[in-house]
Amino acid sequence: MSRLGSLAGRIGSGLAPIALLLAAWQALSWAGAIDSTTLPAPAATLAALARLLEGRGFFVDLGITVLRGLGGLALGAAVGIPLGLLMAVDRRAEGFFNPLVKATYSLPKTALVPLFILWFGIGSVTNVLAVALSTVLPIIIYTYHGVQSAPKILIWSARAMGTTERRLLWDVLLPAAQHGILTGLRIGLGFAFLIAIAAEMIAAQLGIGKLLFMYGETGAYDFMFAAVTAIVLAAYAADRALVAVSDHLLRWQEPAHGRTGS
């Protein structure tokens, strides 16, 4: 019971600031201090969200956006993790790819969406590639630094015992880099939904981003805020799932809490 009480206390303390903000927002709307036509009150937003959830089409749009975000993140991880490992263990690879990573990191990823439209057309391919490009860079960087932070004494000891470079990678470097890899994935997850929605506003016929653009154009701001609320909740659920997986994979590390910023 004490553990459940502690969990309930942490959840309550985390939700309290949000509840206070929503209550203040609602009160200011009732008092007329906020223009509810352009900034709908929480009650109006929840009512619009309830209406959206009554239709199957909204779930289709939400599912498409989530799949594009997670698909782009998976593609970014499939490229970023091996590349980060390679750069960490091979100086020639680091010398070749490091300037490319630095030059690309500050590039606004949505600026490439028109080029992707030209090459791949309007649809999921363009959206997934935009997400992958935005997520691959933090994954590369955190994977690289995760390997670089591996205790040198472990590497020296493994080599002194005759461990091959391949076994060294799998048995020493990769486990040591797990925290960095998972941190990069979590940061990439935040970019994934952001870029997926931004790309959908430009190059999609379905998805939450397209709904946001449509609601903004027609002045249906309560529905626009409702759609934002839905994708925020979906992103939060995905983040909590990733944190749970991270805590399970890193359970051999101490302390148990605070590893993933949960």
pLDDT of 202-258, one tens digit each? 877 888 989 898 888 888 888 999 999 999 999 999 999 998 888 888 776 654 444
Instruction: Assign domain 41-249 to its CATH architecture.
Output: Orthogonal Bundle (1.10)
Question: Alpha-carbon distance 7 to 12, whole Å?
Answer: 9
Whether residue 18 has pLDDT greater than 60: yes
Question: Alpha-carbon distance 47 to 254, whole Å?
Answer: 45
Report the C-alpha dihedral over residues 65, 123, 186, 22, rounded to 10 degrees: -30
Question: Alpha-carbon distance 8 to 18, whole Å?
Answer: 16
Residue 247 DSSP SS3 = helix
Nearest to 133 by CA among 191, 88, 206, 204: 191
- Categorize the per-residue pLDDT at 13 as very low, low, confident or very high, splitting at 50, 70 and 90: low
**Angle, alpha carbons 78-82-86 (nearest 5°):** 160
Question: Alpha-carbon distance 250 to 233, whole Å?
Answer: 25
Whether residue 1 has pLDDT greater than 50: no
Mean pLDDT of 40-47: 83
Nearest to 132 by CA among 76, 67, 187, 181: 76
Most confident of 121-130, 170-179, 233-242: 233-242
